[in-house]
Amino acid sequence: MSRKIIILIFAILSLNCFAQNNSKEDSITLKKLYNTSLLNGKSYEWLDYLSNQIGGRLSGSLNAQKAVEWGEKELKELGIDKVWLQPVMVPKWTRGVTEYAYIETEPGVTTNVPVCALGGSVPTSIGGIKAQVIEVKGLDELKKIGIDKIKGKIVFYNRPMQADVIETFMAYGGCVDQRYSGAAEAAKFGAIGVIVRSMNLRLDDYPHTGAMSYGDLKDTDKIPAAAISTKGANLLSSMLKLDPNVKFHINMNCRTWKDVQSYNVIGEITGSEFPKEYMVVGGHLDSWDLGDGSHDDGAGIVQSMEVLRLFKEIGYKPKRSIRVVFFMNEENGLRGGKKYAQVAKDKGENHVFALESDSGGFTPRGFSLDCNADNFEQVQSWKPLFEPYLIHFFAKGGSGADIGPLKKEGMVLAGLRPDSQRYFDYHHAKNDTFDAVNKRELELGAATMASFMYLFDKYGVK
Amino acid sequence: MSRKIIILIFAILSLNCFAQNNSKEDSITLKKLYNTSLLNGKSYEWLDYLSNQIGGRLSGSLNAQKAVEWGEKELKELGIDKVWLQPVMVPKWTRGVTEYAYIETEPGVTTNVPVCALGGSVPTSIGGIKAQVIEVKGLDELKKIGIDKIKGKIVFYNRPMQADVIETFMAYGGCVDQRYSGAAEAAKFGAIGVIVRSMNLRLDDYPHTGAMSYGDLKDTDKIPAAAISTKGANLLSSMLKLDPNVKFHINMNCRTWKDVQSYNVIGEITGSEFPKEYMVVGGHLDSWDLGDGSHDDGAGIVQSMEVLRLFKEIGYKPKRSIRVVFFMNEENGLRGGKKYAQVAKDKGENHVFALESDSGGFTPRGFSLDCNADNFEQVQSWKPLFEPYLIHFFAKGGSGADIGPLKKEGMVLAGLRPDSQRYFDYHHAKNDTFDAVNKRELELGAATMASFMYLFDKYGVK
């Protein structure tokens, strides 16, 4: 055997041995992270506070400010290297007195239906609006129906989420245009208001709010927009089939104010080897105002904070600088995400990795990744490490809205993918509350995120 | 190129083409099964009836008989080839008047705690029993403590389910000996009763019942056994730390009666090519009496029935005879499972496959399999077909209690494995009710089962 071959064999054996030791060490670290989260976790206790002591925290509200102060305080108590607030101006929209609506089948004969204003909507005129309803399944239909039949009426968008789409986020993507652009489009055809079927796969009585946009409409052309519960939508649709002349009355006094000062909350563990390489983990601190935002996105906030705590608990000192970011204003503006990325760019900070949890606190299944082939291959090689935790899903796809603006060549953007089947039962609705979150599922998510970050910190971004 | 090589290449290409066509056909069939279950499923409606119109259905109860009659009626309405009842004698145990218990810190100063009799327990004497408590973490400790310190006392088994075990069924397996054998063991040391920490990972106020056995104890040596809620257990444990002399009072008037007549409910689609090869799909029709048994195992019943309905709906005619079996008495005797296997053996029926759903109606993750290497390999080759449905888990392991007695060489036994994180929040407790089941999750499970059976029917058991 030639010396070259002997050296080669020796090199291969060493590498193999190194890989085995590394893999064993990684297994042990992951086990520690999961055990600590499940046996001695803080995520659930934090979520209890954020959900029950603070509650819904729409951007620009007093509650959002309380959440900022709470986040800063909790991060400081973790004893990490730095904690600061990053100023950002955010929109302020208020719901006002609770909305109401009814279907009127003949003068004075009415049936109440559950509605809520969409975020950003203008109010109705005082006392509400009442008009005939024209039901459509999507934006395209408006043109076919034509201005003559739409003018002066309320457009009712009633295309449901598709139940046969397995990934509920895909089903959501398939109808959210009705909510986001429905009013702007209907206004062009002379509608005086729109109601949109809630983005919910269940039949129930909760209207689901969410962001909408008037595009470039003039203020005077804007028309009020509300969501109606899925059961309300079915009722209205069936009544319209019996009598196309039934009227719909809705009263809303929501309002948009001047932008106000708010903050992203940021904490950092400075890296021991590569302090100038930044890895972000985060969620969004704001929520809609109807529930207490436990799944969207209280879960992501407390899981992100737990990642840093778990590192400290198990004594892991990251090589790279790990930042937890509680982004402000994901729901109706994304101002926090944009601001964070802008400041990072202005300062020339080298962000190599970002992970967001904003898909609910359900049993984690894996991650979706926006990254290059080398990093994706590296992630695939970690699959065996995650098998004991039933984490199987590592796929190309979107990451998270708040971290999206950070995107650049060579960077890894990742989103935690929990089981999504129940997410839209709660999303943006009054029942998105603490009791809808299971402690273990939340804790498993936090440990899964910490494990993923640990591996990227240890092996680096390719 | 020799003629042999040309033939070989042609053969390989044909096989490849055949495999591709098959795989395409399978993809289409699976899509149909999932779509039908999600868009036009019956499982949820059936579960609503079984849970809300019938309710808890402990073996030997009037409700169990109502469930038998309902099951037979529904199967007949499916229009399948055969439906029949298979007689089986089952135990009859009744809870009697609701149990109660309290901790007494000084005479007359009491704190109520939630308890329930374990299934099969003898009652307390009239008016209840009251005694000092000795807390242990398991059966082993009794010997160390010794008869002198146990005699005349109530033994309190307080080993919790391990939160850091990812698979909750494993954590359950790690402490259920306390419930099953705790009374038999404690009686040998002179205890006058036992209370067992509920097999529940959450802290709440629900006591969880379940089967227990006195082994070969004489009737006169049997002592009453009850479960205490996890919060009750923590309270009692903390009180014992403050004062080891606190007393525990418990009153139960449960009773075991003579065995009574009941039935397995069976439906069959006779196979078109191999009618003498039987494939079973089932769950158990009985439940505990505290909740309405929606997860355990109403879900398994309606999913199994849905498998046959889905085959009919999509026009799939099985090659083999497919039987749905609603087993009676899984919870406290397994008489139905044993009877079915015995009759199959007596009749020389060739059972090649059995699938049970008895792990709750949660999002399906895959299957555990008890089968030979060839069949396991075949299952692995189907993984890509299941990927669009996020079904990843195919592992060796247990299948289901009711189908266990069918086990024989060359047969495939399988168990549906749903996400298990929340299962023990509800298992055998008052909160195992219809509202704890999510429609989509239930329907996804039914479609996953149907898909698996379709593939085994089409390609056969190796």
| Contact between chains at A39 and B164 (C-beta distance less than 8 A) | yes
pLDDT band at B5 (very low <50, low <70, confident <90, very high): low
**Residue A378 three-state SS:** helix
For residue B9, pLDDT over 70 is answered with no
- pLDDT for B22: 80
Q: Are residues A301 and A333 in the same domain?
A: yes
Q: Are residues A355 and A448 in the same domain?
A: yes
pLDDT band at B16 (very low <50, low <70, confident <90, very high): low
- pLDDT for A22: 79
pLDDT band at A421 (very low <50, low <70, confident <90, very high): very high
Mean pLDDT over residues A411-440, rounded? 98
Q: Does A9 reside within a domain?
A: no
Are B252 and B96 contacting, i.e. CB atoms less than 8 angstroms apart?
Answer: yes
- pLDDT for B6: 60
Q: Are residues A334 and A392 in the same domain?
A: yes
For residue A412, CA distances in Å to A180, A217, A279, A454, B440 come to 29, 37, 9, 14, 33
Query: End of a domain among A253, A283, A315?
Result: A253
pLDDT digits (tens, 9 = 90+) for A221-252: 999 999 999 999 999 999 999 999 999 999 99
| Spatial separation of the C-alpha atoms in residues A274 and A268, rounded to whole Å | 13
Mean of all residue pLDDT scores within chain B? 96
CATH number at residue B181: 3.50.30.30
Query: End of a domain among A237, A253, A269?
Result: A253
Are B282 and B266 contacting, i.e. CB atoms less than 8 angstroms apart?
Answer: no
To the nearest whole angstrom, how far is the Cα of A418 from the nearest Cα of chain B?
11
Q: Are residues B240 and B272 in the same domain?
A: no
Chain A hits for B439, CB-CB cut-off 8 Å, are 202
Chain B hits for A393, CB-CB cut-off 8 Å, are 390, 392
Which 8-state DSSP code applies to residue A395?
A: E
Q: How many CB pairs under 8 A join A and B?
A: 61
Mean pLDDT over residues A257-280, rounded? 98
| Spatial separation of the C-alpha atoms in residues A160 and A200, rounded to whole Å | 8
3-state secondary structure string across A41-82: CCHHHHHHHHHHHHCCCCCCCHHHHHHHHHHHHHHHHCCCCE
| Spatial separation of the C-alpha atoms in residues B308 and B268, rounded to whole Å | 9
CATH number at residue A393: 3.40.630.10
pLDDT digits (tens, 9 = 90+) for B108-160: 999 999 999 999 999 999 999 999 999 999 999 999 999 999 999 999 999 99
Q: Are residues B228 and B80 in the same domain?
A: no
For residue B12, pLDDT over 70 is answered with no
Cα Rg of chain B (Å, integer): 25
The one catalytic residue in A72, A74, A313, A330 is A330
| Contact between chains at A444 and B166 (C-beta distance less than 8 A) | yes
Q: Does A12 reside within a domain?
A: no
Q: Are residues A337 and A366 in the same domain?
A: yes
CB atoms within 10 A of CB A215: 12
Locate the chain A residue with the closest alpha carbon to B389: A166
pLDDT band at B21 (very low <50, low <70, confident <90, very high): confident
For residue A14, pLDDT over 70 is answered with no
| Contact between chains at A363 and B419 (C-beta distance less than 8 A) | yes
pLDDT digits (tens, 9 = 90+) for A83-128: 999 999 999 999 999 999 999 999 999 999 999 999 999 999 999 9
Above pLDDT 90, what percent of chain A? 95
To the nearest whole angstrom, how far is the Cα of A254 from the nearest Cα of chain B?
34
| Spatial separation of the C-alpha atoms in residues A270 and B343, rounded to whole Å | 69
| Contact between chains at A38 and B363 (C-beta distance less than 8 A) | no
| Spatial separation of the C-alpha atoms in residues B400 and B415, rounded to whole Å | 6
Picking from A390, A394, A420, A451 by the largest number of B CB atoms within 10 A of its own CB, the best residue to mutate is: A390
Q: Does A180 reside within a domain?
A: yes
Query: Of A314, A231, A219, A213, nearest to A269 (Cα)?
Result: A314
| Contact between chains at A388 and B166 (C-beta distance less than 8 A) | yes
Mean of all residue pLDDT scores within chain A? 96
- The total domain count for chain B is 2
pLDDT band at A9 (very low <50, low <70, confident <90, very high): low
For residue A303, CA distances in Å to A63, A166, A230, A300, A416 come to 20, 25, 31, 5, 10
Chain A hits for B393, CB-CB cut-off 8 Å, are 390, 392
Maximum Cα interatomic distance, chain B, rounded to a whole number of Å = 100
Q: Are residues B316 and B213 in the same domain?
A: no
Chain B residues at the A interface, defined by Cβ less than 8 Å, are 34-35, 38-39, 163-164, 166-168, 201-202, 363, 365, 388-390, 392-393, 419, 421-422, 425, 438-441, 444
| Contact between chains at B441 and A422 (C-beta distance less than 8 A) | yes
Mean pLDDT over residues A179-201, rounded? 98
Above pLDDT 70, what percent of chain B? 96
A388, A425, A441 ranked by CB distance to B421: nearest = A441
Helical spans, DSSP H, in A81-162: 140-145, 147-150
Are A78 and A305 contacting, i.e. CB atoms less than 8 angstroms apart?
Answer: yes
Domain that holds residue A135: 100-253
What ranges make up the beta strands (E) of B158-308?
193-197, 225-228, 247-251, 255-269, 274-284
Q: Does A154 reside within a domain?
A: yes
To the nearest whole angstrom, how far is the Cα of B71 from the nearest Cα of chain A?
27
Chain A residues at the B interface, defined by Cβ less than 8 Å, are 34-35, 38-39, 163-164, 166-168, 201-202, 363, 365, 388-390, 392-393, 419, 421-422, 425, 438-441, 444
C-alpha B110, offset from chain centre = 37
To the nearest whole angstrom, how far is the Cα of B176 from the nearest Cα of chain A?
20
Locate the chain B residue with the closest alpha carbon to A34: B164
C-alpha A148, offset from chain centre = 39
- pLDDT for B2: 58
| Spatial separation of the C-alpha atoms in residues A59 and A331, rounded to whole Å | 8
For residue B314, pLDDT over 70 is answered with yes
Q: Does B288 reside within a domain?
A: yes
Chain A hits for B201, CB-CB cut-off 8 Å, are 440
Are B226 and B115 contacting, i.e. CB atoms less than 8 angstroms apart?
Answer: yes
For residue B389, CA distances in Å to A232, B384, B449 come to 30, 10, 12
Q: Write down the pTM of the prediction.
A: 0.94
Mean pLDDT over residues B71-79, rounded? 98
Picking from B31, B390, B394 by the largest number of A CB atoms within 10 A of its own CB, the best residue to mutate is: B390
| Contact between chains at B39 and A163 (C-beta distance less than 8 A) | yes
pLDDT digits (tens, 9 = 90+) for B421-446: 999 999 999 999 999 999 999 999 99
Mean pLDDT over residues A295-314, rounded? 98
For residue B448, pLDDT over 80 is answered with yes
Q: Are residues A361 and A443 in the same domain?
A: yes
Q: Are residues B330 and B425 in the same domain?
A: yes
Known catalytic residues of B?
330
Q: Are residues A244 and A293 in the same domain?
A: no
Q: Are residues A232 and A374 in the same domain?
A: no
Q: Does A8 reside within a domain?
A: no
| Spatial separation of the C-alpha atoms in residues A295 and A358, rounded to whole Å | 8
- pLDDT for A18: 58
Query: End of a domain among B253, B269, B285?
Result: B253
Q: Does A36 reside within a domain?
A: yes
- pLDDT for B124: 98
Q: Are residues B145 and B242 in the same domain?
A: yes
Query: Of B69, B72, B68, nearest to B84 (Cα)?
Result: B72
Locate B98 and state its tokens. 């609701």
- pLDDT for A304: 98
Helical spans, DSSP H, in B78-194: 140-145, 147-150, 168-173, 176-188
To the nearest whole angstrom, how far is the Cα of A11 from the nearest Cα of chain B?
35
Is the peptide bond between B297 and the residue preceding it cis, with omega within 30 degrees of 0? Answer: yes
Locate the chain A residue with the closest alpha carbon to B365: A390
pLDDT band at B331 (very low <50, low <70, confident <90, very high): very high
Are A421 and A282 contacting, i.e. CB atoms less than 8 angstroms apart?
Answer: no
Q: Does A306 reside within a domain?
A: yes
pLDDT digits (tens, 9 = 90+) for B245-296: 999 999 999 999 999 999 999 999 999 999 999 999 999 999 999 999 999 9
| Contact between chains at B166 and A438 (C-beta distance less than 8 A) | no
Picking from A40, A419, A431, A437 by the largest number of B CB atoms within 10 A of its own CB, the best residue to mutate is: A419
